[in-house]
Amino acid sequence: MNFSNEEQILHSWQQNAIPWTVAVREQQIESRQLVTNQAIVETVMSYSPQTVLDIGCGEGWLARALHAHNITVHGVDGIPALVNQARARGDGRFDVMSYEEISAGKWQDTCLQDTCLQNTFDVVVCNFSLFGNESVAALLQQVPTLLSPGGHLMIQTLHPLMACGDQPYKDGWRAGSWASFSQDFVDPAPWYFRTMASWIGLLSKSGLVLQALIEPLHPKTGKPASVIFACQSNRIFHQ
């Protein structure tokens, strides 16, 4: 069966949900333990939110970390196996919802049926969960409708300069790899590479104003382990 790149991303994560859960919970990913986990938690906490929507929540580690600070978290993911893992650990509300469903306004439809925690959130966070092209662009267009007045979007992703490798520094699909992971991982997903300028342009096009750009440094290499974009909807500037 031939899958589009966007479909291959979901197919791969469906296959690797359990190995990923093990890798996260057994702290097998060095950069997460040394840098990026704490970086996103500290960034979210710096805005003192009461409610957070975690898009692409995976097995729920970030929701649990924020719940420990008395924050109400609703996590969503397009992979049922990951949502099941998150639900089993608790400390949040977790639901299966694809980015396409959020982009199509299903979130508001669900809330009208009184089956979700919130209609809008103080913070929407996407932590290493934006791998596609069209799906990501459509999702970001919808994010302003998910933010409470004065709310913020936070994205942590691969730093373009570090992730570019030896390939040309331009937007485009890249082959995935599980090279640094256990042999339990199979069928790596493709991912869409964006330059720093392209990320910033996409945020602006989506009605989001970049307020802070954070580059957490890896303590061993001294190089950026990731980049965090902290944004606010531009609608607040038009009131």
Q: Taking all residues of the chain, what is their mean pLDDT, rounded to a whole number? A: 93
Residue 119 pLDDT grade (very low, low, confident, very high; cuts 50, 70, 90): confident
Residue 116 pLDDT grade (very low, low, confident, very high; cuts 50, 70, 90): low
Beta bridge partner(s), residue 233 = 208
Residue 239 pLDDT grade (very low, low, confident, very high; cuts 50, 70, 90): very low
| pLDDT tens digit sequence for 168-200 | 999 999 999 999 899 999 999 999 999 999 999
Lookup: tokens for 86:
């998150």
Percent of the chain having pLDDT more than 70?
92
Residue 106 pLDDT grade (very low, low, confident, very high; cuts 50, 70, 90): confident
Neighbour order of strands in the sheet with 72-77: 93-96, 72-77, 51-55, 121-127, 147-157, 227-233, 208-214
pLDDT for the residue 46:
97
Cβ contact 209:144 at 8 Å? no
pTM: 0.94
Fold of 5-238: Rossmann fold (3.40.50)
pLDDT for the residue 180:
87
Average confidence (pLDDT) over 141-165: 96
Cβ contact 211:46 at 8 Å? no
Residue 141 pLDDT grade (very low, low, confident, very high; cuts 50, 70, 90): very high
Residue 238 pLDDT grade (very low, low, confident, very high; cuts 50, 70, 90): very low
Q: Is the confidence at residue 159, as pLDDT, over 80?
A: yes
219 vs 239: CA distance, rounded Å: 43
Q: Of 152, 131, 135, which is closest to residue 143 (Cα–Cα)?
A: 152
| pLDDT tens digit sequence for 192-233 | 999 999 999 999 999 999 999 999 999 999 999 999 999 999
